Structure 1
Amino acid sequence: MALFAPLSRRRLIGGVIAAAALAAAAAPARADGPQRVVVIGGSLTEIVYALGEEDRLIARDTTSVFPEAAAKLPDVGYIRQLSPEGVLSVGPDMIVALEGFGPPEAASVIQQAGIPVTVIPDGYDSQSILDKIRLTAKAFGREEAGEELAGKVGADLAAAEAAAAGIADKRRVLFLLSVQGGRLMASGGNTHAAGIIALAGGVNAMSGFDGYKEVSNEAVIEAAPDLILRMRGGRDPSSDAEVLAHPAIAATPAGKAGKVIGMDGLYILGFGPRTAQAARELGEALYGDVPAAGN
């Protein structure tokens, strides 16, 4: 029976692709481009709304929860665990997706469905945000509006970077992805967490590795963070009190001072139009007790 499973799946996906093509073809044609758009990636959805193009959206992925109106759209699944059937069954005439959507097999099927797919590069610095804005605007045929939005967001980001550059005694931040089961999953370099910490004027307390990985108690104590940063709304239900009670965290400056802050995951890690604001809030948590220059 196993020999027939791949063929059955191919037939199923083929049927979904054909249905999607028919639905897209049945949609009324408009001179200003595609009108049945699926957006995959929370930061891209924010950009679409900031451009005023939300009326074209028919569905979004699970990470697209801001603004609140976006969360009311049909959900086609988590960005990295999509099924081609789920994405294509809504009959899109264009898909705009953040780099890394998948899994790879699903991404390949979606991209071969005969529907225009625009893949937007991801990143964790100011330039990557501006690139996202411009490329998303181009996909919607709104280049001029994209330049205007990029100008406003770019000015906010430049101000945040200038503020961060003016901090002489930078404090150390440990981003904890999870503390479940007493195991500490933290961010190293080349991550969105490291990017927002830098933009807020902090120093990523973990170095020597890239990405997110489990770290030892000894490594956390040696990192000596001044602040613990957590993601609210993630899969880790641990409370701040539980984090502070962890033996390794309790031995750090952050633990001793009770300095832990939770922020919305998309807000701090999405790297979209609100990132400069998120950096300012994180910076306030880090340096709010520091007197302003001249005081």
Structure 2
Amino acid sequence: MHKGFRRLLGKSVRAGLLAMAVSCAGATIAPAEETTHIEDSSRLVSIGGSLTEIIYALGEEKRLVAVDSTSIFPPEAKELPDVGYMRALSPEGVLSVNPSGIVLLEGSGPREALDVLKKASIPLVIVPEHFTREGVLEKIHAVGKALGVEEKAEKLAASADADLAAAEKAASSVKERKRVLFILSMQGGRIMASGRNTAANGIIELAGGVNAIDGYDGYKQLTDEAIGEAAPDVILMMDRTGNHAASDEEIFGNPAFAGTPAAANKKLIRMDALYLLGFGPRTASAAHDLSVALYGDAARH
């Protein structure tokens, strides 16, 4: 939560807000249906870092009254009250800022929290998440429609599309594509890596690389044998600190990587998590930067 934010809400107030949300189905105001447009978007809660980026890119940040903890760009977004992590939402936290509408990224939850929010008579727009060039444009159009600023969204989408097309064109010139292994975490020496249908897979493809793991969807723990068979040329990770961080020495010293091209060449790329995986207005730049990190000058033009 935003500094001091929880302290402003006494237990009885928070309990009252939750009880009010749960009981709204029986009130005189009918429960809100999931929608694509918010009539009164003067007090928005944005849940999903890429959605918050889009709202700022549209110049509509004045509508925001709170965001979730993944909304860390632009830096000003971090000054807004924080309603929690998008996949572990508390309805009382979201409702406590008295929003007139909520824009929420697909995959947010848990489901029980969304059910409560849908009963609170507050318009809720769920924005689809697809890790492709088209997915970025769909997000922009969905946010624009939700806020009633379709013309602004059309311009932003056109600009993003041109940038993404340029990034794809640059990546397409690469003749020998590198195999990239995205590692989500290495806690306890257990390697959790990205398969298909993930943001990591999407950005690797946009940058002209090949996901070294293609035998499953989502994120899974890999065996040493699976990593050896994947034979990654490059390891890609989020630039992070804390319990999920791992040093270069820890990574390349792990027996699972022995014999891989990535370990032989000590090739590891770290990038900011939201920038790399957000699939928002900066994705074209992220794809370009990753492509340059993979291929050097060959990907600059």
Say whether 1:85 aligns with 2:92. Answer: yes
Q: How far 1:112 moved relative to its partner? A: 1.4
> How far apart, in 1, do the equivalents of 2:199 and 2:41 lie?
31
- Structure 1 stretches (4+) deviating beyond 2 angstroms? 9-12, 14-19, 289-293
Provide the residue aligned with 1:265 in structure 2. 273
- Taking the aligned partners of 1:250 and 1:176, their CA distance within structure 2 comes to 16
CA deviation string 1:3-34 (max 9, x = no partner): xxxxxx99761236789x9xxxxxxxxxx842
| Alpha-carbon distance in structure 2 between the residues aligned to 1:98 and 1:34 | 17
TM-score (norm 1): 0.88
Are residue 109 (structure 1) and residue 123 (structure 2) matched? no
Q: Gaps (5+ residues) in structure 1?
A: 1-8, 22-31
**Number of equivalenced pairs:** 274
Deviations 1:125-163 (A, max 9, x none): 000100000110111110000000000000000111112
Q: What is the rounded CA distance, in whole Å, between the counterparts of 1:140 and 1:291 in structure 2?
A: 37
Report the Cα distance in structure 2 between the residues aligned to 1:102 and 1:291, rounded to whole angstroms: 38
Aligned partners of 1:277 and 1:112: how far apart in 2?
39
The question of 1:52 aligning with 2:59 is answered yes
- Percent identical among aligned pairs is 55
Paired residue type of 1:268: L
**Matched letter for residue 139 of structure 2:** K
The CA deviation string for residues 88-139 of structure 1, in whole angstroms up to 9 with x for no partner, is 0110001000011110000111111100111100110000100000110111
Q: Is the 8 A contact 1:16 1:89 kept in 2?
A: no
The farther-off stretch of 228-237 and 113-122 is 228-237
Give matches, 1:23-102, under 5 Å.
33-102=40-109
1:275 aligns with 2:283: yes
Which SS does the other structure have where 1:46 is aligned?
Answer: helix
Between stretches 228-237 and 164-173, larger displacement belongs to 228-237
Asked whether 1:217 is paired with 2:224, we answer yes
Alignment partner, residue 121 of structure 1: 128
Q: What is the root-mean-square deviation in Å for CA atoms of aligned residues?
A: 2.2
Match of 2:18 in 1: 13
- Counterpart in 1 of 2:31? none
Q: Pairwise mapping of residues 97-246 of structure 1 onto structure 2 (< 5 A)?
A: 97-233=104-240, 236-246=244-254
Residue of structure 1 equivalent to 2:261: 253
Q: 1:287 — aligned with what?
A: 295
CA distance in 2: counterparts of 1:46 and 1:192, whole angstroms: 16
2:20 aligned partner, one-letter code:
G
Instruction: From the superposition, tell whether residues 12 and 152 of structure 1 become closer, same or farther in structure 2 (CA, over 3 Å).
Output: closer
- Give, in whole Å, the separation in 1 of the partners of 2:117 and 2:192: 32
Compare 196-205 and 235-244 and name the one that shifted more: 235-244
What CA distance in whole angstroms lies between the structure 2 residues aligned with 1:33 and 1:151?
26
Give distance in 1, aligned partners of 2:130 and 2:294: 24
Name stretches of at least 5 consecutive residues in structure 2 with no aligned partner.
1-13, 28-38
Greater RCO (Cα-Cα under 8 Å, separation 6 or more): 2
Distance 1:270 1:291, change over 3 A: closer
Q: Deviations over 1:26-82 (max 9, x none)?
A: xxxxxx842110000000000000000001100000100000000111000000000
